[in-house]
Amino acid sequence: MARLEQPTRPKELEAAIRKRASEIWEESGRIPGHDAENWLRAETEVLAQWASRQKRVAGIRVRVAETIYVAEYDPAEAGGYRPGEFKSGDPVELRFEGEDLYVKRAAGQELRARIVQTSVASR
């Protein structure tokens, strides 16, 4: 007879789900009989947050005059861009749109990255 085994999860993830389920119970007026529903809702919310934190990001650093922009991008959505495509000091064509930085690549595509930090370059 086969047994279904519970997949193991990091203790901090399990604790976060338990905490959120308790918060949901409190927020809903401590109504009894909704433990499974509260747990499933908490699990869905926490796992979604966990997955977004685990999402892989990469970074690019660009200097414009005396300002340095550090931006992050998702390699899965980078249209084939690979680190090293630009060499340090290479001139690049940029455009800014809100919090996004677009770097024009050799074949005309653009690498879109979210600006996460700006600083003044030291001389």
Q: What is the per-residue pLDDT for 3?
A: 52
How does residue 1 score in pLDDT terms, banded at 50, 70 and 90?
A: very low
- Residue ranges covered by each domain of the chain: 11-54, 58-120
Integer-rounded Cα radius of gyration of the chain: 22
Q: What are the residues facing 96 on neighbouring strands?
A: 101
Distance CA 61, CA 68 (A): 7
Tens-place pLDDT, residues 17-29: 999 999 999 999 9
Q: Which helix (H) or strand (E) holds 12?
A: helix 11-27
Tens-place pLDDT, residues 48-101: 887 766 666 788 888 888 899 999 888 888 888 888 888 888 888 999 999 999
pTM of the model: 0.53
Q: What are the residues facing 99 on neighbouring strands?
A: none
* Burial profile 98-120: b = 16 or more Cβ within 10 angstroms, e = fewer: eeebbbebeeeebbbbeeeeeee
Q: What is the per-residue pLDDT for 55?
A: 64
